[in-house]
Structure 1
């Protein structure tokens, strides 16, 4: 793909005015900076339910995304996913720049997103994860806490086109509600 003819605004994360509120909320909840076995188990269940090789529980910070829950097959593709993610302050393989991927769009829109073929959407086809990781399909839903803050997402990705469609949309929304409930129960403890 020739990036000289692509509008550079398509290559960045969307403007996100809620970042300061989100970062403060994530700190108050103790989320978004360490792996979480419950979220890892949830990501495995999500991947299986969606028939996808990768799934994440993702919290979005100021500069990066943190996968507190992460599931991926142990293969060359999993190594490629890990290599494409930054290893700045957190556990390697658990972070990615906020400008990469589709989760920042889901958080800003505050709506679930199903892309059965990311290449069919010019806005999403140019995302760096298409070439660096081989993402071909994406499905994600926002995690909105009791204060109304969009903390992050749950998502699945595949290296092949999918046919998730409307059933996938229903699945990702219902499973996001499960994680939101888990976060609320933890906060009440």
Structure 2
């Protein structure tokens, strides 16, 4: 997707309940930085020759940066940003969002990070889960206009595919952990029920024995 009037419309994906549920199911929000993700953003910066790249997970209130390479403080430490960002636009589609010159675009020049972070050019690849929910984006920015080449977009797409696999893996691990917890809870309940049943059986047997003696 290129910049332009196509995006001059209300953003609806951010608040989609199914998308938000899928995002939280990954268990990645507010987690520590991980080398598996940081390696990808470092590589994007190196291959594209840009100042910064990041892996953004977008909930209803903010962008949470699972990885952010090249950002200064305070963003490097907080790893989150509230308000409208380019990632909100990136998750509206399953196609790359390519913006060569943010200040020259009638829509994107109004995104706050054009001024606060100096975003003069942006490329973002949507990060979808296996069910097609767009959780965030794998993005790179430049602080000067940048005509993103087809090869650069392909590089970002390949890196985003790796990021999607890592995210899917985390979600799968979380599902397995929850399933294990449910099994343990069920086992505990079954054990408690077995103890109760045994106590009842013992009580019934004691009553039979007592009845036999009085007879």
TM-score (norm 2): 0.69
Equivalence for 1:132 = 116
Deviation at 1:47, TM superposition (A): 1.4
Q: Structure 1 71/108 Cα, relative in aligned 2: closer, same or farther at 3 Å?
A: same
> Does 2:20 correspond to 1:15?
no
Partner Cα separation in structure 1 for residue 113 and residue 10 of structure 2:
13
**Which protein has the bigger helix share?**
2
SS of equivalent to 1:161? coil
Corresponding position of 2:187: none
User: For each residue in 1:28-77, what CA deviation from the matched residue of structure 2 results, as whole angstroms up to 9, or x when unmatched?
Assistant: 2111222331222221112112211111111000111100111016xxxx
Aligned residues: 166
Alpha-carbon contact 1:103-1:153 (below 8 Å) kept: yes
- Judge conservation of contact 1:138–1:156 (CA < 8 Å) in 2: yes
> Any conservation in 2 of the 1:106–1:141 contact (CA below 8 Å)?
yes
Cα offset, 1:97, TM superposition: 1.5
Q: Map 1:125-164; keep pairs closer than 5 Å.
A: 125-164=109-148
TM score, norm. by length of structure 1: 0.78
Moved over 3 A (4+): 185-189
Contact 1:35-1:67 within 8 A present in 2 as well = no
Give the equivalent residue in structure 2 for 1:42.
Answer: 40
What do residues 3-22 of structure 1 show as CA deviations (whole Å, max 9, x unaligned)? xxxxxx97x97222653222
State the SS of the aligned residue for 2:95: coil
Larger radius of gyration: 2
Alignment pair present for 1:94 and 2:79: yes
Q: Which runs of 5+ in 1 are unaligned?
A: 1-8, 86-90
SS of corresponding position for 1:109:
coil
Indicate how the Cα distance of structure 1 residues 45 and 138 shifts in structure 2: closer, same or farther if over 3 A, else same. Answer: same
Out of 9, 18, 24, the residue aligned to residue 21 of structure 2 is 24
C-alpha distance in structure 2 between counterparts of 1:92 and 1:102, whole Å: 20
Aligned counterpart, 1:4? none
After superposition, residues 63-142 of structure 1 pair within 5 angstroms as 63-72=61-70, 78-79=72-73, 82=74, 92-99=77-84, 101-142=85-126
> Within 2, Cα distance between the matches of 1:68 and 1:130?
21
Distance in 1 between residues matched to 2:97 and 2:24, nearest whole Å: 26
CA RMSD of aligned residues (A): 2.3
